[in-house]
Amino acid sequence: MFVFSSRMLRYISIRGGLGLLAVRRACLRSRHAHTAPQNEYRPIKKVMVANRGEIAIRVFRACTEMGIRTVAVYSEQDTGQMHRQKADEAYLIGKGLPPVAAYLHIPDIIKVAKENGVDAIHPGYGFLSERSDFAQACVDAGVRFVGPSPETVRKMGDKVEARSLAIAAGVPVVPGTDSPIASLQEAQVFAQTYGFPIIFKAAYGGGGRGMRVVREYEELEENYQRAYSEALTAFGNGALFVEKFIEKPRHIEVQILGDKFGNVIHLYERDCSIQRRHQKVVEIAPAFQLDPHLRDRLHADAVTLARQVGYENAGTVEFLVDKHGKHYFIEVNSLADALAVVDLVHAQLRVCEGRSLLDLNLKQDKIRVNGCAIQCRVTTEDPARGFQPDTGRIEVFRSGEGMGIRLDSASAFQGAVISPHYDSLLVKVIASGKDLQTASSKMSRALAEFRIRGVKVGSSSACLPSAAATSVSVHAGARLVRWTRL
């Protein structure tokens, strides 16, 4: 959910500022018309992250910078994981439960929060981040949920209701079912009406789980069952809906940020079109070769939809753009771009405390793009086996670094044991530069410097020294994806 994924280091500056994230006061605080009333402000002193891995570490670091104490939770299989070591306090959850189920066990998480004086819970992304019952459980326990209100999480987490809200707001959507389907027969009727290809999607989650493309009738039943099983395992609910599948679209996400007072801004967009198994592996910000008028429409539609639902805190509004330049809303994720130069974790916590965007000196007409950034995921996957996840102990780990390179990781070190139970992400590599060509060159150089032994590694960009690797070359004048076997 909240810090991305994953996600794109965006060079956004505030007019008159210096560097990546310089913010200049738009006006004196006394002039603000919509600042938070004094009695609404409640400082946060202790934050729990109901997640694991690099996203938990990113939130812990931001909290430490803000003088906020941190609490980690971990499953029995994660006793040696780095996120446990990075927090001020750490507690076991889900004892006796399977690895993923431990992080979905709401009673344990709430119990730990209440017993240890936690003021707010940050859900990260995935796991419980899009579960309205979790957001409500936090509220009922007197613990703040760092994200949208439970009702907004419910509306946006229900992909079918989100479609209806988008239609009501005048935002175009892909043809699809009006509600989750109850049987295979309903999918068959939809396919007969709209034709193949179609796509199954989890009604109550994202991230590529519970998502299956069907291109012919013979594949329908098998993919329906697989999508249902994946959604049930990942989100605790196997409900699916069906959409017409758009062939070879661009996947554009707009980062938004809202406060408790109805103010919403966008922080520009990123291109997430390069994916594997419906999960983003390369992100580029801002999106390149995007028609300026289309870019404006995407931004406007994202903000309009966020205002329509009273969206609070950080999130991404996701669109598909077809070969004709038409865009379609697909979903909203309660996600903060981990790589945005406006530090969205800081902003999330301040908004949760009751600050307004104006208090944070964030005003739409002051925000500008300044440069370019690319994010790539280095994963413990074996390219020789169709990028199937690989496990084991890392025997050698040397990373690519240098000017303009940022690394977000949790298990990227010599001696780390890669578990088969969770996501295969090893490290996110972010390269930034004055333009796309500069950022691309930095990324290629940094990834070529990696040396990893002990587990198979697949990269979404440039060359890694494994038996086989993936190379993505992106140039300013063309959109070129090249898969290279070394």
Query: What CATH number is attached to the domain comprising 221?
Result: 3.30.1490.20
Mean confidence (pLDDT) of the chain: 85
Residue 179 resides in a domain: no
Over residues 160-190, the pLDDT tens digits come to: 789 899 999 999 999 888 888 989 999 999 9
Which structure tokens are listed for 318?
């996701």
| Count of structural domains within the chain | 4
Confidence band of 462 (pLDDT split at 50, 70, 90) = very low
| Tens digits of residue pLDDT in 107-166 | 999 999 999 999 999 999 989 999 999 999 999 999 999 999 999 999 988 877 898 999
Tell whether 345 and 251 lie within a shared domain: yes
Beta bridge partners of 379: 425, 458
pLDDT tens figures, 276-289: 887 889 999 999 99
270 lies in some domain: yes
At 313, which CATH number? Answer: 3.30.470.20
Mean pLDDT to the nearest integer, 33-44: 63
Position 34 scores a pLDDT of 43
Give me the pLDDT at residue 383, please. Answer: 87
Residue where one domain finishes, among candidates 217, 244, 271? 244
Position 17 in a domain: no
Which domain covers residue 406, as residue numbers? Answer: 372-484
**Where does a domain end: 213, 244, 275?**
244
pLDDT of residue 198 exceeding 70, the answer is yes
Q: What is the pLDDT of residue 296?
A: 97
How do residues 369-393 score in pLDDT, each as one tens digit?
A: 889 999 999 999 988 888 889 999 9
Q: Quick one: 240 and 254 in the same domain?
A: no
Tell me whether residue 273 is in a domain. yes
Does some domain include residue 416? yes
Same domain, 297 and 401: no
pLDDT at site 263: 97
CATH code of residue 63: 3.40.50.20
Which of 333, 360, 387 corresponds to the end of one domain? 360
Residues 401 and 478 reside in one and the same domain: yes
236 and 254 share one domain: no
Are 300 and 380 part of one and the same domain? no
Calpha distance 149→145 (Å, rounded):
8
pLDDT digits (tens, 9 = 90+) for 62-76: 999 999 999 999 999
The pTM (predicted TM-score) of the whole model is 0.80
| 240 shares its domain with 252 | no
Taking only the tens place, the pLDDT of each residue in 321-358 is 999 999 999 999 877 664 465 789 999 999 999 999 99
Residue 226 pLDDT greater than 90, yes or no: yes
Amino acid 227: pLDDT: 94
Sequence-separated (6 or more) residues with CB below 8 Å from residue 342: 10, 12, 21, 23, 257, 267, 362, 367
**13 lies in some domain:** no
User: What pLDDT does residue 31 have?
Assistant: 39
CB 340 within 8 A of CB 28: no
Q: Within this chain, do residues 405 and 339 fall inside the same structural domain, yes or no? A: no
- Determine, yes or no, domain membership for 460: yes
The pLDDT value recorded for residue 337 is: 64
Q: Is residue 72 part of a domain?
A: yes
Mark whether 92 and 137 lie in a shared domain. yes
Give yes or no for residue 17 having a pLDDT over 50. no
Q: Are residues 206 and 240 in the same domain?
A: yes
Give one DSSP letter per residue of 386-451, joined into a string. Answer: TSEE--EE--EEE----TTEEEEESS-STTPEEPSSS--EEEEEEEEESSHHHHHHHHHHHHHT-E
